[in-house]
Amino acid sequence: MKDQAEGLRQLFSATVDSPVVCLVSCPSRDAIAIPCAKSLIDSLASRGHPMLWIDEIDFRRREGLPLAANVRFQLSQWMNGDVALKDTVTPFGDQRWYAYSGGDLPKTPSDSKRNALDQFQQSGLDTEIVIASITERTLLLPVLAGQPVHVALVCDAKPAQLRPTLSWISRIESAAEIASISLTLCGDETACDAFRHAIEEVSAGFIASTPEILGNLNFKLMSTPLAAFGRASQPLTDRLATRILHR
């Protein structure tokens, strides 16, 4: 593994093409996005892809999960103009970089701060993929500026969660071009089948994109330990990694 100093020099010394972006979220339990994002990063890293993880899960909603790396400054501090963009990024493995932006949202970003991904590229961020674990309080949507994104949602397969799921997708659509939407459904087989049919029937009236069901997990979403969820979801995460790399 490269030493950190050399890694940081390389991080901000090259120009790269526009990265693939994948937003990972769980509308009903924010912390689920953390093991999902980590599993996706592990799967992609095993295939040799350098990547940046933008983690926006607030400390109060992480359910005890630590940050992936020690960070000096948050991405939101750059949004406020307090620090340089490069100072918000920390290495946390070979060809892996981490930026945290939980807690209170910053002031409304100026136009110069709305294209963070472009500015990461211009500064030479050597990454092919950006994975963002986000919540409905995300600051990332205003800075996507039309960047095509893959969306990976973990959904509680209960009827009451159908409308919130579609509303969240609609909000993402309003900020970015959608490359794909993948849903992982949590619940017993009957509940997942019912949710699948419901979203197929009503999604056209709410959203422009067509969600694809990545698979089902026979879990109670709100009570399953995060570690158990991460392990069980790995096959679906591997499938998602393959999907976003070939679109």
Alpha helix (H) residue ranges in the chain? 4-11, 33-45, 75-79, 116-122, 141-144, 162-175, 189-202, 226-232, 234-245
Nearest by Cα to 150 from 168, 175, 177: 177
Average pLDDT over residues 84-93: 86
pLDDT confidence of residue 95:
82
Residues whose CB falls within 8 Å of the CB of residue 45, separated by 6 or more in sequence, listed in order = 51, 93, 94, 95, 96
pTM recorded for the entire structure: 0.86
The answer, yes or no, to whether residue 219 has pLDDT greater than 90, is no
pLDDT band at 102 (very low <50, low <70, confident <90, very high): confident
- pLDDT value at 12 more than 50: no
Mean of the pLDDT values across residues 30-52?
Answer: 92
CATH of the domain at 57: 3.40.50.300
**Distances, alpha carbon 241 to alpha carbons 25, 37, 128, 152, 246, in Å:** 15, 11, 13, 10, 9
Token duo for residue 221: 């979403």
**Range in 53-62, 134-143, 198-207 the model is least confident about:** 134-143
Query: 29 lies in which domain range?
Result: 4-245
Sign, Cα dihedral of 99, 180, 33, 68: negative
Position 169 scores a pLDDT of: 93
Tokens, residue 241: 């990694």
Number of separate domains in the chain: 1
Q: What is the pLDDT of residue 17?
A: 58
How much of the chain, in percent, has pLDDT values that exceed 70?
80
Residues 6+ apart with CB under 8 A from 212: 180, 181, 182, 183
Q: What is the mean predicted confidence (pLDDT) over 77-92?
A: 83
pLDDT of residue 4: 43
| Of 238 and 11, the one with more pLDDT | 238
Q: Which two tokens stand for residue 96?
A: 């892996």
Q: What is the pLDDT of residue 9?
A: 43
Of 15-19, 109-113, 170-174, 239-243, give the lowest mean pLDDT range: 109-113
Least confident of 10-14, 76-80, 169-173: 10-14
Q: Residue 171 has which token pair?
A: 């909000």
Q: Residue 133's closest CA among 37, 9, 35?
A: 37
Q: Going by C-beta distance under 8 Å and a sequence separation of 6 or more, which residues neighbour residue 208?
A: 173, 178
pLDDT at 116: 63
